[in-house]
Amino acid sequence: MSIELKNVTKKFGEVTAVQEVSFSVRDGELMGLLGPSGGGKTTVLRMIAGLEVPSQGDIFIRGRRVNALPVQKRNIGFVFQNYALFQNMSVRGNIAFGLNVRKWQRPDIEVRVRELLALLGLEGLEQRYPHQLSGGQRQRVAIARALAPRPGVLLLDEPFGAVDAKIRQELREWLVRLHHELNVTTLFVTHDQEEALEVSDRIAIFSRGGLEQVGSPREVYEQPANEFVARFIGVLNVLELEVRDGRARVNELAFPSHGRTEGQRLRIGFRPYAVPISADVHAYRYRALLRRTFFLGVMLRVELELPSGLIIRARMTKEDYTRENLHDGAPVSFQIRQYRVLSGDDDALRPEVATVHDLPPMVGEGI
């Protein structure tokens, strides 16, 4: 393993920022650290870099315990959220800075700087200063400076947070290409779910200082370890049900009781993509009005309003929407084809009953 954390805790006075976190990063892996603000992800990154010292637990880099190892001896490149470029230095000066500190020979510095200018698409900009660059260019200079000494690990803290949406998308694609070319172990912090899903080989999801789940983008989306992950990665409809007459019900909707007895409650969660919709009001079991459509490009987000006023969120392709001749205010029918039973503690999915149901429309009662 390139990096390994074992039961790492970090306290700032009475505040516990990270609580007994353990995970590992493989050689050459691109891992995203994802979570809401205050989740602990940046503190974890800073402890790996050596900018913070763990209160408890151990951090290993390539098998070596580094808890007490100074920053400059960890062979790590760190890119800060605000770039932290030297404003009085040119692009060339910023990239060469770490090499000068390490007392590289001038010819070697020139060769390395030219390599990075070409690799990161900065040729022709070497004499410019940070204020003369775009946000995307400044970010690439910051990454070039971090890569210059050939670090074994690259750490990025919210690397694309300071640029607009179009540049952010371009930088994501560029980072993936760069990583494949260099194959350097890379961790990046983000609170953007789409960014983490698109860029990462694996994702570590943090909340309230704890590690909720580590897995591939597909794993954390399709097999969330708990309700926090299910809600944080993508959109989740959650329904509060009560067992009446042998069925778990809420308003017009009815589902199997999943072992609950009369009067007991349970909760289910389902993704918007698990809700097929038809303009034919007899095609599926349930009826609703198409309350509102949000155009997101190829995909559309749709809100359905049941006669009781309950709102269900769904997604469909633009082609399906057009084929069904749908529009806001139209009567529709729908079905819920997949869902998971949630536990009652607002946190975990209960593995023993977290069965994914995938039944065709109109089969059986409810689902």
- The whole-number pLDDT of residue 245 equals 94
- The whole-number pLDDT of residue 178 equals 86
CB within 8 Å of 283: residues ≥ 6 apart:
333, 361
Q: Looking at the predicted structure, is the pLDDT value of residue 122 above 50?
A: yes
Instruction: Tell me the sheet residues that pair with 341.
Output: 268
Q: How many CB atoms lie within 10 A of CB 58?
A: 14
- The whole-number pLDDT of residue 343 equals 64
Q: How confident is the model at residue 351 (pLDDT cuts 50, 70, 90)?
A: very low
Q: Tens digits of per-residue pLDDT, 46-88?
A: 999 999 999 999 999 999 999 999 998 999 999 887 778 999 9
CB within 8 Å of 290: residues ≥ 6 apart:
277, 302, 303, 304, 326, 327, 328, 329, 330, 331, 332
CB within 8 Å of 282: residues ≥ 6 apart:
333
Contact present, 288 and 332 (Cβ < 8 Å): yes
- The whole-number pLDDT of residue 234 equals 84
Could you give the CA distance from residue 31 to residue 267 in angstroms, rounded to a whole number?
32
- The whole-number pLDDT of residue 364 equals 28
Could you give the CA distance from residue 256 to residue 222 in angstroms, rounded to a whole number?
22
Q: How confident is the model at residue 168 (pLDDT cuts 50, 70, 90)?
A: confident
Contact present, 196 and 190 (Cβ < 8 Å): yes
Rg (CA), the chain: 25
Q: Tens digits of per-residue pLDDT, 284-328?
A: 999 999 999 999 888 999 999 999 999 999 999 999 999 999 999
**What's 212's DSSP letter?**
E
- The whole-number pLDDT of residue 349 equals 43
Output the pTM of the full model: 0.82
Q: Looking at the predicted structure, is the pLDDT value of residue 359 above 70?
A: no
Give, rounded to a whole angstrom, the gap between the first and last alpha carbons of the chain: 45
One DSSP character per residue, 14-31 reads TEEEEEEEEEEE-TT-EE
- The whole-number pLDDT of residue 163 equals 67
Q: What is the mean pLDDT of residues 342-348?
A: 54
Could you give the CA distance from residue 199 to residue 4 in angstroms, rounded to a whole number?
21
- The whole-number pLDDT of residue 344 equals 53
- The whole-number pLDDT of residue 162 equals 63
Could you give the CA distance from residue 302 to residue 313 in angstroms, rounded to a whole number?
6
Q: How confident is the model at residue 361 (pLDDT cuts 50, 70, 90)?
A: very low
- Strands 185-190 and 153-157 come out as parallel
Which CB contacts under 8 angstroms, 24+ apart, belong to 166-170?
A: 167/134, 167/135, 167/136, 168/195, 170/136
Per-residue CA distances from 151 to 22, 80, 184, 203 (Å): 23, 16, 8, 22
Q: Looking at the predicted structure, is the pLDDT value of residue 208 above 60?
A: yes
Q: What is the mean pLDDT of residues 13-29?
A: 96
Tokens of 322: 């057009």
Segments of the chain assigned E as strands: 3-12, 15-25, 30-34, 56-61, 64-65, 76-79, 153-157, 185-190, 202-207, 210-215, 237-244, 247-250, 253-256, 265-270, 277-278, 286-295, 299-305, 311-317, 331-334, 340-342
Q: Looking at the predicted structure, is the pLDDT value of residue 347 above 70?
A: no
Residue type, 21: V
Helix ranges, the chain (H): 41-49, 91-101, 106-119, 135-147, 165-182, 193-199, 217-222, 227-232, 318-323
CB within 8 Å of 25: residues ≥ 6 apart:
1, 2, 3, 4, 31, 185, 187
3-class DSSP state of 334: strand
Q: How confident is the model at residue 4 (pLDDT cuts 50, 70, 90)?
A: very high
